Structure 1
Amino acid sequence: MVKSLPPRSEVPKQDTWDLEPLFASSEAFDKALEDIEEKAASFHQQFKGNVRDAESVIETLKAYSALYEQMVPVSTYASLSLSTDQTNDEAQMRSSRFGSVSAKIGSQLSFVTSELLELPEETLKAASGKSAEFENFLKHVLREKPYQLHPEAEKALAAYSSTFNAPYGLYNTTKMVDMAFDDFEASGKKYPLSYVSFEGDWEAEPDAELRRAAFDAFSEKLKDYQHTTAKTYDMKLQIEKTTSDLRGYDTIFDYLLFNQEVDRSLYNRQIDLITEELAPHMRKYAKLLQKVHGLEKITFADLKISLDPSYEPEITVEESKKYINDALSIMGDDYLEMVERSYSERWIDFAQNTGKSTGAFCSSPYGYHPYILISWTGRMNEVFVLAHELGHAGHFYNANREQNIFNARPSLYFIEAPSTMNEMLVANHLLQNSDDPKFKRWVISSIVARTYYHNFVTHLLEAAYQRKVYERIDAGQSVNAGVLNNLKRSVLEEFWGEDVEITPGAELTWMRQPHYYMGLYPYTYSAGLTISTQVSKRILSEGQTAVDEWLEVLKTGGTKTPVELAQMAGVDITTEQPLRDTIAYIGELIDELVSLTDEIEAGK
C-alpha cells in the first residue's frame, strides 16, 4: 500500500546520495562561490581587450576552461541539494544565490566569445592548429558568428540569464512546494496521494477503481494550478521567441535546433513517422491490456498498468545490483567498476520524500563522479529506470575522462542513446535467461511499457504537442491553459483514435513534464532509442566488436555531430530506415505479447 512520504530529515542516510565529494559543508560552498567571483573579476581584468592573436587565444581559453571547471561543483551542489527537497529554505536560497552570481559571472565573461569572433577567421584556425584541444570549441564559436550580437548586447543578455531561467524555477516551486495533494477516496477508504506516489505507484495500480480514482484526484489538483503553470510556460516561450528574433534566426525551431547540430528534417521525421506508423501497434497493445485486465473500456488512466501485475516481482535496492551487473557485464570491467562505485560510494539518491523532484535524472559534473536521482518504489521496472540513468553516467564517466570540458558533452539529439542502450541490454539479458512464457511476457511487456512506451510514446506525444505550441509562438501568438489543454488533447486523440478513451484530466499532462523548459528535448528520446535499438541488435549478433565500437562512441563525447556519432556505431540516421526498423521491431514485440498471452491463457 502506498504510504505518505516522510520529510527529508527522516530518510535513512544509506538511501541518499553523498554530496561531500562536491563540498563537505554549505560553508565550503559559500567560500568556493566567493572565490569564483574573485577569479572571474581577475580573468576579466587580465584578458578583456587582449585577445589579439593565436597565442593569446590559446592563453585565454586555457584560463577560461579552468574557470569553467571551477564553476562545475558549485553549480552541481546548488542544483542537487535543491532537487532532493524543494521545500528546504536553505537549499532554495543557495540555488537563488548561485543563479545571481552565475549571471554576474556570465556577463563578465561574455567578452570571450565576442572578442574571438572579432578576430579574422585565419587567426582562429591558426589557434586551432597550435592547440588541438580547443579546435572543437573554436569551430562551434565560428558557427555562432551569424547570430552573434554586439558585445554590449551579449553582456546584457548574459546578465539577465538568471531571470531568463526563472520560469523553470517557478514551475518546480509550483509543482513541488505549493501543490499539496489531499487523500483520495475509493470504495469508502482514504488513500494518500503525492506527485511521486502517483507517478511511481498509483498510475500502475492493478485495481482499476483505485487507479482511476487516484488519476481523477491527481488531475483535479493539477487543474487548480493550470493557469499559473500555463503563464509560467508562456513566459519561457516568449523569452525563447524574443531571443530567436534578436539573434536573427529564421524560426524559433532553427534557434532551438542550432546547438543540437541537426536540421528540421531529422526533428520532423521522428514526430511524423512515429505518430503515423507506431500508433496502430500501440493501439493493439492498449486493446491487449484491456482484454487481459477484463476492462469494459480502456482509458488514458489505464495505459501505464502492467500486463501481468501478479507476476512483476518486488525488488530491493540491494537485489537490483545483480540484475544490473549481469546485464551490463558485456560492457566490460571498467564499466562494471563504475556501476559498483555508484552503489558503494552513494552516487544514487533512492529515497522517497516530500519535496523531492519527480522522475529520475543523472547529473554528470565534469571532474567529479555522476549523481543519479531516482525514487525507488520497489517495482521491478525500477531496474530499467536505474539502468537508463546508469547509461547516462557511463556515457559521461567515459567522455569526461577522455575529453576536455568543452568537448565532453554531445548534442542533445544523441544524449538519450547511451541511456536507452542500457535498457535494451537489460531486456536482452533477461530474455536470454529464461524460456518460461510468463517470464518472457513480463520482460517483453516491460520493454514495451517502460522502454518504448516511455521514450517512443510518452515523450514523442510531448514532442508532437510541443511542436504545435512552438508553431503558435513562431507565428507571434501566446498560450494559456485553455490553448495548451486543447493542443494536448488533440495530440492524444490523434494517436490513440477510437481505441482509448481520453478521459478528463488527460489534457493536463502537459503540466507534468519539466522537459518543456529545456528546448526541443522530448523528441530526442525517440531519436536516441532509435540509435540504441539498432546498436543493441548489433551487439546481440556481433558481440564484442559492436561493444568496443560503442565504447569508443561514448569516449568521443561532443567532438562529432549526432550523425557522425551514429555512423561510428554503425547506424545511418540520415535515412528513415533505422526509425522504420525500430517501429517494426516494436510491432514484432507487441505481436509476440499477443501470442504469449494466448499461449498462457490456453495453458490455464
Structure 2
Amino acid sequence: MRLKRNEVPIEETWDLSALFQNEDQFEDAISKAINEATIIEETFKGNIRNSTVAAQVIEAYKNLNAKLIPIGSFAQLSISVDQTNDDAQMRSSKVGQTFAKISAQLSFITSELLQLEESILLETKNKAPQFSLYIDKLIQKKPYQLHPEAEKALAAYGTTFKAPYELYNTTKLVDIQFNNFEVNGKSYPLSYNSFEGDWELESDTAIRRAAFDAFSTKLHQYQHTTAKTYDTHLKIEKTNADLRGFDSVFDALLFDQDVDRTLYNRQIDLITKELAPHMRRYAKLLQQVHGLEKMTFADLKISLDPTYEPKISIEESRNYMKDGLSIMGEDYQKMLDRAFDERWIDFAQNDGKSTGAFCSSPYGYHPYVLISWTSRMNEVFVLAHELGHAGHFYLANAKQNLFNARPSLYFIEAPSTMNEMLMANYLLANSNDARFKRWVISTIVARTYYHNFVTHLLEAAYQRKVYERIDQGGSVNASILNSLKRTVLEEFWGDTVEITEGAELTWMRQPHYYMGLYPYTYSAGLTIATQVSQRILHEGDVAVQQWLTVLKAGGTKSPVELAKMAGVDITTDQPLRDTIDYIGSLISELEDLTKELEAGK
C-alpha cells in the first residue's frame, strides 16, 4: 500500500521554507506582486519613448519577475509531490490565473519596446549593457510580434492555454488508479511510480511482463481522453505558429531554442539509422543472458546482471555523489553537501507524486530535485543527472542576471547527462573486477544512453511525425497516435524485439510532449556531454575548468557557442557519429565481458 503524503518521513521530503515560511507569506507575496505590476503599468504604459525609460522599464520588469519566481515555484513544487492535495490544486490554479493577469497587464512592455526605432534599442543596450541579451532576443521576435491588443488578449489566456498539460497530469496522477496484478496466485501493487521505478526493471520475467500487461490495460482505458487532451495542446501550438507568421510549427517551437531544423533533424535521423544496429545487439545480449525465448518490449529495461545490483540507502547515495563528482571541485562538493543537509531533494514515494525525476532551479534560490527513491543502484545515475541540472543553475544563477541565466533548451540536458558520465568514469576507474565493470558499463548503456538516446529519441521521432501531421492541417486521436508510436518502435527495433500490445501506448506516459520540442534535446545534450566527459577523462582539470566556465555562462551564448567553448563543434555530424560509435564500443565491451565471465564459470 502506497503512503499518503502526510505519512512519509519528513527527512525524505524537500523543505520549501526557503521560498516561503508559511501560507501567509505566500499570499502576501502574491498581493505585493499584483500591486507592483499595477505600478509598472501606471508608470510606463504609453511612456516608453526613449532609451532612458526603456532601461527603467526593463529593470522594473526584471525585479517583478524575480518576485514572481518563488511564487510560481512554490505552487508548482507543492503540487508536484501530491497532485491529489486540494490545497495544492487551488494554489496552483490561483497562481496560474494571477500570472495570466499580470502577463496581460504588462504585455505592453514588449509591444512598446518593439515599436521603438532600432537605434533607440541599441542606445538602451549601451546605457544598460546588462540587458543586451534581453534586447537582442526582443529584436529577434519583432517579425512575429502581433498588434499590442492581440498580444494582451493572448497573454490573458495564458492559464487556459496551459490547461491541456494540467488535464494530462490530473488524468495521469489523480484519476488513473491501478489495480493490483497477480502472478502465480500472489498479488502485487501497481502504480505509475512503482511500474517505472520497479516493475519495468524486475528480473523475474513473469512478474515483469504481467506488470506491463496490467499497466498497459489501465492506460488503454484512458487513451481517448488523453489523446483529445494532447490534440487540444497541438492545436494551440499550431494556431500560435500560424498567427505569428511562422512557416511551420517546427520553426515556432525551435525559435526560442536558438537552433535551426538542421540540428533538430540530424539528431533524429542519424540516431534512428545508425544507433539502431548497436541497440539491437544490446537487446540480443539481454535476451541471451536472461535466457529469454523471445525479446519483447517489456524486457528492454532489465539489468544485464540483476543479481549483482546492490540496494543502496539515501545516505549511501550521498557518498557516491561526493566521490563520483569530486573531479568538479570543492565548490561543487559544497553544493552537493547543501543539497542533502538542507533538504533540497524529495526522495519520498507517495500517492499523487509526479513520475520520473526533475530539477527546478528558481532564480535567487537554491535548486530543488524530485525523485522517487527505490534503493536501486541505478538511481545513483538518476540522482547524479538531476544534481547536474542543480549544479548548472547553481553556478549560472550566481554569475548571471535573471534574463541571462537560462540557456537554450537544446543545451539544457548537457550538464545533467555529463554528471552521469562522470559518475561512470569514476566507478570504472576504481575497480578492475570484470563483473563490476560489466555492471557499470551496462548501467551506462541501460540508464544513461538507453534513456536519453533511445527512449527520448524515439519520443522525438514520434513527436516529429505528429507535428508533420498537424502542420498539414490534420488532427490526431488515440488510434493515430498508437499507430505512429508503433511505427517508430518497429522501425528502430526491427525483428529483434517483439513490439507487444501496449507498447504503442507509451506516448501516454511522457509529459515532455507538452513542453515543445523537448525530447530530442536529451540526445543533443548527451552528445555534448559524451565528448566533454572524454576530454575530462584524458585532460583532467583543464577540461573541467573549461566546463565550469561553460556552466557559469548560463544563457549568454547560443548552444553552438556553448558547445564550442567546451571544445565540441555541433555544427557538424562528427560529435554525434563519435558518440554513436562510443555507444557501440560499450556494447562490444559488454559482449566481451559476458563471454569472459561465462567462460570463467
TM category (shorter chain) comes to over 0.9
Out of 47, 55, 75, the residue aligned to residue 72 of structure 2 is 75
Out of 174, 192, 195, the residue aligned to residue 195 of structure 1 is 192
Q: What SS does structure 2 have at the residue aligned with 1:372?
A: strand
Mapped pair 1:107 → 2:104: yes
Out of 273, 288, 292, the residue aligned to residue 289 of structure 2 is 292
Mapped pair 1:57 → 2:54: yes
TM-score (norm 1): 0.99
Deviations 1:3-38 (A, max 9, x none): x21000100000000000101112221111111111
Deviations 1:254-288 (A, max 9, x none): 00000000000000000000000000000000000
CA displacement at 1:89 relative to structure 2: 0.3
Q: Within 5 Å, which residues of 2 pair with 1:11-30?
A: 11-30=8-27
For 1:27 and 1:116, locate their aligned partners in 2 and report how far apart those are by CA, in whole Å: 36
Aligned to 2:211: 214
Give the residue type in structure 2 aligned to 1:550.
W
For 1:538 and 1:122, locate their aligned partners in 2 and report how far apart those are by CA, in whole Å: 44
Out of 487, 490, 504, the residue aligned to residue 484 of structure 2 is 487
For 1:26 and 1:495, locate their aligned partners in 2 and report how far apart those are by CA, in whole Å: 50
For 1:78 and 1:27, locate their aligned partners in 2 and report how far apart those are by CA, in whole Å: 14
Deviations 1:313-349 (A, max 9, x none): 0000000111111111111111110000000000000
Give the residue type in structure 2 aligned to 1:70.
K
CA displacement at 1:591 relative to structure 2: 0.2
Aligned to 2:586: 589
CA displacement at 1:193 relative to structure 2: 0.3
Give the residue type in structure 2 aligned to 1:171.
Y
Q: Within 5 Å, which residues of 2 pair with 1:205-604?
A: 205-604=202-601
CA displacement at 1:153 relative to structure 2: 0.3
Deviations 1:79-113 (A, max 9, x none): 00000000000000000000001000000111111
Aligned to 2:83: 86
Structure 2: which 5+ runs fail to align? none
**Percent of counterpart pairs with the same letter?**
70
Give the residue type in structure 2 aligned to 1:40.
A
For 1:25 and 1:288, locate their aligned partners in 2 and report how far apart those are by CA, in whole Å: 54
Give the residue type in structure 2 aligned to 1:254.
D
Q: What SS does structure 1 have at the residue aligned with 2:277?
A: helix
Deviations 1:131-158 (A, max 9, x none): 1100000000000000000000000000
For 1:48 and 1:516, locate their aligned partners in 2 and report how far apart those are by CA, in whole Å: 36
For 1:196 and 1:315, locate their aligned partners in 2 and report how far apart those are by CA, in whole Å: 18
For 1:542 and 1:477, locate their aligned partners in 2 and report how far apart those are by CA, in whole Å: 51
Out of 162, 178, 181, the residue aligned to residue 178 of structure 2 is 181
For 1:131 and 1:328, locate their aligned partners in 2 and report how far apart those are by CA, in whole Å: 38
For 1:588 and 1:5, locate their aligned partners in 2 and report how far apart those are by CA, in whole Å: 41
**Greater shift after overlay, 124-133 or 470-479?**
124-133
CA displacement at 1:582 relative to structure 2: 0.0
- Structure 1 moving runs of 4+ over 4 Å: none
Give the residue type in structure 2 aligned to 1:117.
L
Aligned to 1:42: 39
Deviations 1:410-460 (A, max 9, x none): 000000000000000000000000010000000000000000000000000
Give the residue type in structure 2 aligned to 1:113.
T
For 2:319 and 2:186, locate their aligned partners in 1 and report how far apart those are by CA, in whole Å: 38
For 1:439 and 1:416, locate their aligned partners in 2 and report how far apart those are by CA, in whole Å: 27
For 1:38 and 1:159, locate their aligned partners in 2 and report how far apart those are by CA, in whole Å: 17
Q: What SS does structure 2 have at the residue aligned with 1:128?
A: helix
Give the residue type in structure 1 aligned to 2:66.
E
CA displacement at 1:569 relative to structure 2: 0.2
Q: What SS does structure 2 have at the residue aligned with 1:20?
A: helix
CA RMSD of aligned residues (A): 0.4
Aligned to 1:32: 29
**Greater shift after overlay, 21-30 or 534-543?**
21-30
Give the residue type in structure 2 aligned to 1:566.
A
Give the residue type in structure 2 aligned to 1:322.
N
CA displacement at 1:189 relative to structure 2: 1.1
For 1:578 and 1:451, locate their aligned partners in 2 and report how far apart those are by CA, in whole Å: 17
For 2:542 and 2:143, locate their aligned partners in 1 and report how far apart those are by CA, in whole Å: 42
For 2:271 and 2:228, locate their aligned partners in 1 and report how far apart those are by CA, in whole Å: 30
Mapped pair 1:9 → 2:21: no
